[in-house]
Chain A
């Protein structure tokens, strides 16, 4: 069975600085998707970024980028120029390629605080 592990329960960053959130996963599949979701206090999960395992290029969305290391089964999220609105829970998630993109296995999350 696939698993997702986030080893940092909490992280803190100064406004305008850069922070990296870690995620590792375990799977025997060769093709899959990885995601980072943000969950603010409103509880609504918001997709931040998605990575297809068959793509070697790391995904980027504005201030958010990932470092995808397939052999190491590592998928970290880098947030540049952190803003107060980035404060939230961040969840790493996995799904098999060919499965449903909403049928996700989530990690336990990392709580990110942003200091002004």
Chain B
């Protein structure tokens, strides 16, 4: 069974530019999560989808971050415009449903200069 796929693995952008990350969850997984992991800290949940609907986006900075999962499969997370403090690893995870274990991808390391 293929795992959670994320791309790109690394991204370097200048502040005020925009960037997008892509996540393809494990086949059949209805629940999808995006996390932000700043260096030296644990991951923090940004948004949770159930199929193509948002379950929890309480910690998503909505003035600059957006995420979608239009067909209930893959998802994109966008930052526009980026700030220096957005430098982090962005992790995607998926689970079969809300009550089962979440599996994580290898993340995208974003550096904003």
Contact = CB atoms under 8 A, between A and B. Distances in A.
Contacts of A47: 101-102
Given A43-B106, A103-B48, A108 B91 contact: no
Interface in A42-91: 42-47, 50, 91
Interface residues of A, number: 21
Contact of A45 (B31, B93, B95): B93
Contacts of B48: 100, 102-103
A101 B98 contact: yes
A101 B99 contact: yes
Given A42-B106, A43-B107, A44-B104, A102 B93 contact: yes
Interface residues of B, number: 27
B102 A102 contact: yes
A101 B43 contact: no
A46 B104 CA distance: 7
Interface of B: 3, 31, 33, 40-45, 48, 55-56, 89, 91, 93-95, 98-102, 104-107, 109
**9 A-B pairs closest in CB distance:** A106-B42, A102-B102, A45-B104, A100-B98, A43-B107, A44-B106, A102-B33, A102-B95, A91-B42
